[in-house]
Chain A
């Protein structure tokens, strides 16, 4: 809402308070001032001038020579505008004046005629953006009066954001009431005095409200003999400053009074109301209405309308009909000032897709007690501006005026909740200043009879809030915090998750973050997850974001692809996020997952060679990360033959996302918890990636379950180890895991470590075969192994490998 300060000053004396202070007081009491605007400049050197005579320009059809008197002298000015005649009062910029738009007036010749001043349009003066003709000043303006004085420039406007609970502040008087309370001043309301004459309204118009629940109050007032004309400049100026376009005196008054007191009004031309009747009713099925904005609406019985004796003439509380409104020849005006119930207004606004300043206020709650006052105020102004005569009386359908709502507040409660020892007398003073009548006060507390303009005050804390915001939040202390422990609180889950992130980063991975939404296309491309259990958004915001992700992999691959497209040659990323699906019976499910993606030679340190990254290399790097995280997060280990190894099983993983044979499923206790692999060529092609990339996705829960377990310290071995190498040639199909399994099966308890240190393929070995070399460590628990003992053990291990894997042993 826009609050012109000069207009506001009609209702509260703000003298001695700078606009920035006014803004600050509002902001720090809950009505945020979002901006302070200045409209127009003071325009020194621009004065009102009297048009004495107009002549044609000798050399130009569209220009005129205007003889003006500026209060001291007459002069001739060349002018291109034609919206005025002799006798008009116009704005004249004298020689040497610089206008707000930067133009400096200099003596000049226009088509051979000299001109030493300029007559100005509104936009040239910064008053509005109107350039349709000269700015016309009131005809009674004395020539020579400075323009700033005539127009009240510059005007300062506060742009305020009114919270939805405070519809009373959607008006100048509402804002004035706040400022009066905050600054210790009084609210001034306009005096309403006007003469009424002729037949009373009750004899000429009938009003019936058929749905008092939706329209708890309806008032109507009548004026005769109105003449439509532009509003006086002061009213136009105020409306413009408040952001409302002036139209004509009668229409302008309805807007003016709404801005002044918050009551939306509508003016009907009585001629257009059949049977001179107003019926507030539900629309009948099949009825329609063309509103003032010239759009036609099909009406339904859920909608409340204002009808005449035959048809709807207005969409109640939202907008009037095009036919029944004020026209240039309107003389008899019916002023509607009513109160409509918010929910119905909101539903109709949504249904017809039409909102207005009026509906905005009704949706939030209009002061039902103020309808009649607003009607009188509008009648007074219309009579004053249009020469109309007010018909005696008012029709006021107000079956159940609400009683003031009593709300009690305890002093002690207010003091405790705010944390300040405010005295009861200070709190009472705040209520009084806010025009909240205190119905009764005791040592324990008071009761406020909440007036109808404060729809937001319902319970004790609402009153405490009034005390807090008027007293000032800055007066509440901000003491040093006191730590309080809640018994039984468990911070381990969050610590485990933090530890996981820290360890992944410690391994050299950067954390990425993607949206929870993915496109159908990306999912289709990667073919992960199950289309049948996906969560589709019924109202997505864009085609790229239609589905809640059921896997982190598509976005991880896309991320690597995007990096590659930007010539990023290496990326090691991880993401922790939730995925979504529908379980049995359509139940929504979510699960936290970890994804990792590797692109480029991320495992090579120091001198990074240009050698192409192989699938084996990138996959090996990723598997290394998994194994490191597995032990770092203390996932279960198996102790076999004295060796502690991750209790993880790897099985082959098929699917279109991965290269055949280059992916593994991770099994924990026989259950799949994740998978990793080299992304298939077909998927990579989407981002023109020729080099292999590897990705992993696994459930986060197992990574957190044991993260904070305390490992038991193990004694250092008392006896020295004995090292033996084992090298052999086997068929290519024999996997490392097969070798380990064979070793473990054959191993004596003294075999305590197995390390692969070489794999070699080549001509010397022969096609389809490879050489593998392992470093084995033997150690006995209670003595030093002799060479002979070790050799015996190693011999049996070699035999097992030889037999079990059809290996050809190369060296001992």
Chain B
């Protein structure tokens, strides 16, 4: 066999490929030439008897034949497949609903807590935890609550036996953390709190708070304002403003209440902010030296700020929830819509 003969085989084979009108015909061509007992196999066998000098050229020609034939087969197959697919419809309906399961939702209260943790984590705060069943000392005494303060009444607080109670605030976590470690302290403490409030659109007997505490050598009110403002903008939007009003809490001095500008109307007044342009969030202030002395910190060497916030309140504002009871209703349709 010489190169001319090989060229002839190639021409013949390519012509047959081009003539194949159906996939089965094309397959027959493939088997005839490239199959285990096909013509190329025979040619390869015959090369063994060729003159050694001719072998390289013949080998190259055979390879070329094989490559061009393979390429032609593939190209023709694509053409035939496309022709076969043209106008054909699938046996199944591609618009059927997908069968992979949906992703669930995380409760708004958990979302707000997670978001707050994330925001304060960027500033170096870590999460601290405390028990729901507290003692009177951590919930009231250590926080400088006067012995006869109305918040201690059975009217307002769920008392248990042995001067134990369901914590009315997350502030006792401040005390537990300071008791357990020397300064500096930079913690936030989310958790569930309890007050004997009759349930209505904005109150429930259990609710969640996030407590924050920062103690170091020179913590100032300017730090408090800066950090709360940063939090407000991260949580509610970059254009949120914060205003601070002096107030009174036994465990901070000076004490401050803070409001966010209304994220709905941006301060012009609307139904959400009751026309005031501001939404009251919660309280904060500089840690009262009396509290530091209780936990064995020296108020001459450290100062600190503390803040609190109601999680449900922020969740209601953020998600546009009008009644706090919806957060505890657990209607699957309502929860699914939050995913």
Residues of A within 8 A of B (CB): 27-30, 32, 163-166, 342-343, 346-347, 416-420, 459-462, 464-465, 468-469, 473-474, 476-486, 489-491, 493-494, 498, 501-502, 504-517, 535, 537-541, 545, 548, 559, 562-563, 566, 568, 570-574, 576-578, 580, 586, 588, 590, 599, 603, 605-607
Q: Are A506 and B104 in contact (CB under 8 A)?
A: yes
CB nearest neighbor in A for B107: A511
Interface string of B93-107 (1 = CB under 8 A from A): 000111111111111
Give complex CA distance A489, B161 in Å: 34
Main secondary structure, interface of B, reads: mixed
| Contacts A468-B254, A510-B332, A539-B159 supplied; 20 other A-B pairs, CB < 8 Å | A459-B289, A461-B289, A465-B246, A473-B256, A474-B243, A478-B226, A481-B223, A501-B114, A506-B104, A510-B105, A535-B133, A537-B158, A538-B160, A538-B161, A578-B132, A580-B132, A586-B161, A605-B100, A606-B96, A607-B96
B24 at the interface (CB under 8 A from A): no
Which residues of B lie under 8 Å from residue A416 when comparing CB positions?
Answer: 218, 220, 303
Stretch of B29-37, B48-56, B121-129, B264-272 contacting A (4+ beta carbons < 8 Å):
B121-129
Q: State which size class the interface on B falls in.
A: 35 or more
Q: Provide 9 A-B residue pairs closer than 8 Å at the C-beta atoms, listed in order of the A residue.
A: A164-B149, A468-B254, A473-B221, A473-B245, A486-B186, A498-B114, A507-B101, A510-B338, A576-B110
In the complex with contacts A30-B245, A469-B246, A476-B225, A588-B133 CB distance below 8 A: yes
Q: Are B331 and A563 in contact (CB under 8 A)?
A: yes
Give complex CA distance A58, B54 in Å: 148
Task: Tell me the chain B residues, 142-193 only, with Cβ under 8 Å from chain A.
Answer: 147-149, 154, 158-162, 164, 166, 184-186, 192
Stretch of B7-15, B59-67, B198-206 contacting A (4+ beta carbons < 8 Å):
B198-206
Number of A-B contacts (CB under 8 A): 237
B88 at the interface (CB under 8 A from A): no
Give complex CA distance A572, B254 in Å: 48
Q: Are A508 and B101 in contact (CB under 8 A)?
A: yes
Which residues of B lie under 8 Å from residue A473 when comparing CB positions?
Answer: 221, 225, 244-246, 256
In the complex with contacts A490-B126, A516-B194, A541-B198, A461-B288 CB distance below 8 A: yes
Give complex CA distance A474, B258 in Å: 11
Please give the distance in Å from A495's CB to the nearest CB on chain B. 9
B86 at the interface (CB under 8 A from A): no
Give complex CA distance A417, B205 in Å: 36
Q: Are A478 and B330 in contact (CB under 8 A)?
A: no
Which residues of B lie under 8 Å from residue A507 when comparing CB positions?
Answer: 101, 104
Which residues of A lie under 8 Å from residue B159 when comparing CB positions?
Answer: 538-539
Which residues of A lie under 8 Å from residue B246 when comparing CB positions?
Answer: 28-30, 465, 468-469, 473
Give complex CA distance A606, B196 in Å: 47
Q: Are A510 and B122 in contact (CB under 8 A)?
A: no
Which residues of B lie under 8 Å from residue A32 when comparing CB positions?
Answer: 245, 247, 257
Give complex CA distance A122, B265 in Å: 40
In the complex with contacts A468-B221, A578-B192, A417-B303 CB distance below 8 A: yes
Q: Are B226 and A418 in contact (CB under 8 A)?
A: no
Give complex CA distance A795, B184 in Å: 68
Which residues of B lie under 8 Å from residue A465 when comparing CB positions?
Answer: 246, 253-255
B327 at the interface (CB under 8 A from A): yes
Give complex CA distance A468, B97 in Å: 63
Q: Are B335 and A605 in contact (CB under 8 A)?
A: no
Which residues of B lie under 8 Å from residue A577 when comparing CB positions?
Answer: 192
Q: Are A517 and B101 in contact (CB under 8 A)?
A: no
CB nearest neighbor in B for A592: B129
Partner of A165, one of B196, B248, B303: B248
Which residues of B lie under 8 Å from residue A505 when comparing CB positions?
Answer: 103-106, 339
Which residues of B lie under 8 Å from residue A568 when comparing CB positions?
Answer: 331-333
Q: Are B98 and A605 in contact (CB under 8 A)?
A: yes
Please give the distance in Å from B328's CB to the nearest CB on chain A. 6
Q: Are B196 and A418 in contact (CB under 8 A)?
A: no
Task: Tell me the chain B residues, 215-238 only, with Cβ under 8 Å from chain A.
Answer: 216, 218, 220-223, 225-230
Q: Are A502 and B133 in contact (CB under 8 A)?
A: no
Partner of A489, one of B101, B186, B245: B186
Which residues of A lie under 8 Å from residue B327 when comparing CB positions?
Answer: 513
CB nearest neighbor in B for A569: B332
Which residues of A lie under 8 Å from residue B248 when comparing CB positions?
Answer: 30, 163-166
Q: Are A484 and B186 in contact (CB under 8 A)?
A: yes
Which residues of B lie under 8 Å from residue A599 when comparing CB positions?
Answer: 332
B131 at the interface (CB under 8 A from A): yes
In the complex with contacts A346-B148, A465-B255, A606-B96, A417-B196 CB distance below 8 A: no
Give complex CA distance A485, B121 in Å: 9
Q: Are A590 and B131 in contact (CB under 8 A)?
A: yes
Give complex CA distance A480, B234 in Å: 13
B306 at the interface (CB under 8 A from A): no
Q: Are B256 and A571 in contact (CB under 8 A)?
A: no
Task: Tell me the chain B residues, 112-143 only, with Cβ under 8 Å from chain A.
Answer: 114, 117, 121-124, 126-127, 129, 131-133
CB nearest neighbor in A for B217: A416
Please give the distance in Å from A193's CB to the nearest CB on chain B. 38
B314 at the interface (CB under 8 A from A): no
B73 at the interface (CB under 8 A from A): no
Which residues of B lie under 8 Å from residue A478 when comparing CB positions?
Answer: 222, 225-226, 228-229, 242
Give complex CA distance A469, B248 in Å: 11
Which residues of B lie under 8 Å from residue A462 when comparing CB positions?
Answer: 253
Which residues of B lie under 8 Å from residue A510 when comparing CB positions?
Answer: 104-105, 332, 335-336, 338-339
